[in-house]
Chains A and B, each alone.
Chain A
Amino acid sequence: MTGKGVSYGVSKINNIIDVKALTKVFNGKVRAVDGISFTVREGEILGFLGPNGAGKTTTLNMLATLLRLTNGSATVNGHNILEDADAVRRSIGYVFQDPTLDLELTGRENLDFHGRLYGLERIVRLQRIEEMLEVVQLTDRADDLVKTYSGGMKRRLEIARGLLHHPKVLFLDEPTLGLDPQTRRSIWEHIQRLNQEKNVTIILTTHYTEEADYLCERILIIDFGKIVALDTPSKLKARLEGDVVSLVFKDPAVIVRIRPLLEEKEWIRSINVVASGNSYARMSHMIQMKRGMSVGIGIGGIIPGMDSGSIGGRGKIPKQVQQMLAKGMADENGQRGRDEGAKCLNLLVDNGGHRIPEIVKLVDEAGVILESVELHKPTLDDVFLSVTGRDIRDERGSFMEMARRHRIVQQARGRRIRG
């Protein structure tokens, strides 16, 4: 009897985040988050993966009490997000996806503002600020105005700020977006250290599968507001039994021809097209998909909830992007050479190594020129592709980043207007 009671109590404490049928509907029609349920153990690092617009940020915003949920419920650190928002906010730190620094303050002042807002005492505050500046290697720029920082420096400062008050739960929304590999690595290390030494529970969203693989104990893949997979990275990969054989073609147009031939083979469990080209090619591709032009193959490029009229959520398509798109379209329709980079077919095959000769023969007989063949064990990229039907490398692609950058520039302009 008592045993049961105790174990119940323990499990309750262990689940520092408990989400039940959480739903967010925007403007009565956009189901951004559609009844998701999951729990996070104390001290766990959970990764959110999902295509653009899948609902990752919306979920975090609800858990952080910044957005009111439409339906369902959730507790963070034992506090209900609706009824006890203050206690929830005391338990969390949040590094937002979009920039939230005060550009007119210095780096140190931004941290100081945060420390005071979270009620850190002077001595602790000053010490932590120095410590965090050291971690993100901004000590020598700490007294410069943030508007003079590079993008990567701003991102590092934001991460430092989110960690400053040593929260119990930390939300990191694409923490390393746009950082160079070296900085990314040092941020990873810090995240890990924080997690281990301070037992901070972390939810992080990312489009870098290697980041999720490296840091996260479990990975939650979300698509169209629903959870499509939730497991440890190794189990997720193990689900895709077999091997991935990648066929790279010189001429992407042949994919349309070769695909049906491959589909006939019962030992090929799935076929996916992965675009690997320059950003123009990928971008123009997305637009074509959107306009309903047939491209014969379903390359994942549609961004739910992002129509061409509202890139980045606000305002019209930036002229720059328009021009680039126009260029891309013209290239695609007209005299585009074969310069858009090779395209790749990923086949999920039982016992891949043994099938390669057969596959090569088949392609050869079809009169198609192969550029290269590659064999590898399924990675998280492959898992992502198999459950969402989209190539994750597209999701962090130029398109969104350009839109986002545009918005930042636009905002900077707005500020200047104000004087």
Chain B
Amino acid sequence: MVQPLSGQAIYVVLLRELKRYWRAKARIISSVAQSFFFLVVFGLGLGSFVDGFGSINYLSYMAPGVIGMGLLFGSVFSGVSVIFDRQFGFMKEMLVAPVSRTSIILGKILGGAATASIQGIILMAVAGIMGAFTPTIMFVAGAFAAVGVMLLITAGFVGLGVAIGSTLNDFHAFQLLSTFVIWPLFMLSGVFFPIDVVPLPLQVAMLFDPMFYGVELLRWCLLGAGTPLLGPLGWLISLGVLIGFNALMIGVGTYLFSRAQV
């Protein structure tokens, strides 16, 4: 399945994603607001009787997780939007063009990763304003690293979305997707509680959640530490897992997308 890539095609599909994202202001606002409520209610609410972990208060602990939540939702949905492209017919316009499906899907993945990461950056700023992070030189460097991590996390999950979107054919599957894919990925990613304090079965489940490693990596970037369970090289392990997950998902997404007929 080696198909020639067209830079122009990748670019134009990416551009379209960005334009559409930018025009859907309501969506941007609502998802930022949603994460904001999480930060306020859980961060400040739960935080008032949970002490935090070590030197990190609860709000700070939660912030990378909530950013991760924004990334996860944004990226999976933008991948799944291939369903909408098909429903609204625009997919035909792309598929009948003399460019490989791989180019189209790479554009889609890059576009989804970019838009979801923009979302992540906005959330990072919101959390920063709420005082979740300590503004040091180290943090600034970490924040830049975090943007790279965001792109890495989202690319894989857009791939997952594309894979799902290419398999399912209608909106009705949407509810299922949300309940059985996105929420479990989110809940098990260690947003609210650290992995080392929960019972073993839950721990194991969390270790199978790729989003867990994404959140871990974000914590390394933004807080300078991760869970003791993975040790001091936790960031490296997480990075490795994410890269593997990315390769897998982009591959599977591209394959399933190429196979789908109009």
Contacts and interface: CB of A to CB of B under 8 A. Distances in A.
A86 B100 contact: yes
16 contacts: A87-B98, A92-B96, A99-B88, A102-B88, A104-B20, A113-B16, A113-B93, A114-B93, A116-B8, A116-B12, A117-B9, A118-B97, A415-B88, A419-B24, A419-B27, A419-B30
A3 interface: no
B98 A118 contact: yes
Interface stretch (A62-70, A182-190, A196-204): A62-70
A415 B84 contact: yes
Contacts of B92: 66, 94, 96, 100
B6 A103 contact: no
Contact of B87 (A114, A117, A414): A414
**Interface bracket on A:** 35 or more
A64 B262 CA distance: 11
Contacts of A419: 24, 26-27, 30
Interface of B: 6, 8-9, 11-12, 15-16, 19-20, 23-24, 26-27, 30, 84, 87-100, 171, 261-262
Contacts of A86: 98, 100
Contact of B16 (A64, A67, A92, A105): A105
Given A104-B23, A415-B84, A415-B88, A61 B262 contact: yes
A87 B89 CA distance: 23
A102 B97 CA distance: 15
Given A98-B89, A99-B88, A113-B12, A67 B261 contact: yes
B261 A66 contact: yes
A23 B97 CA distance: 23
A418 interface: yes
Interface in A67-113: 67-68, 86-87, 89-90, 92, 94, 96, 98-105, 109, 113
B99 A117 contact: yes
Contacts of B88: 99-100, 102-103, 411, 415
A119 B90 contact: no
A86 B95 CA distance: 10
Contacts of B261: 66-68
Contact of B89 (A61, A96, A116, A117): A96
Given A67-B262, A117-B97, A119-B6, A100 B12 contact: no
Of A87, A89, A100, most B-chain CB atoms within 10 Å: A100
Contacts of B16: 102, 105, 113
Interface string A134-160: 000000000001000000000000000
A94 B26 contact: no
Nearest to B31: A419
A322 to B, nearest CB: 21
A65 B9 CA distance: 19
Contacts of A94: 92, 96
B101 to A, nearest CB: 10
A68 B96 CA distance: 13
Contacts of B9: 116-117
A89 B87 contact: no
B111 to A, nearest CB: 13
Nearest to A64: B96
A92 to B, nearest CB: 7
Contacts of A411: 87-88
Contacts of B262: 61, 66-67
Nearest to A145: B23
A89 B104 CA distance: 15
Contacts of A68: 261
Contacts of A67: 261-262
B84 A89 contact: no
A411 B11 CA distance: 27
Contacts of B98: 86-87, 89-90, 118-119
Contacts of B84: 414-415, 418
**Which of A103, A114, A117 counts the most chain B CB atoms within 10 A?**
A117
Contacts of B87: 411, 414
Interface in A234-292: none
Given A102-B90, A411-B88, A414-B171, A66 B96 contact: yes
Nearest to A417: B171
Contacts of A109: 19
Interface in A32-81: 61, 64-68
A404 to B, nearest CB: 12
A92 B95 CA distance: 12
A100 B90 contact: yes
Nearest to B3: A86
B97 A89 contact: yes
A31 B20 CA distance: 39
B8 A119 contact: yes
A101 to B, nearest CB: 7
B27 A101 contact: no
B103 to A, nearest CB: 9
A78 B99 CA distance: 19
Contact of A99 (B19, B24, B89, B171): B89
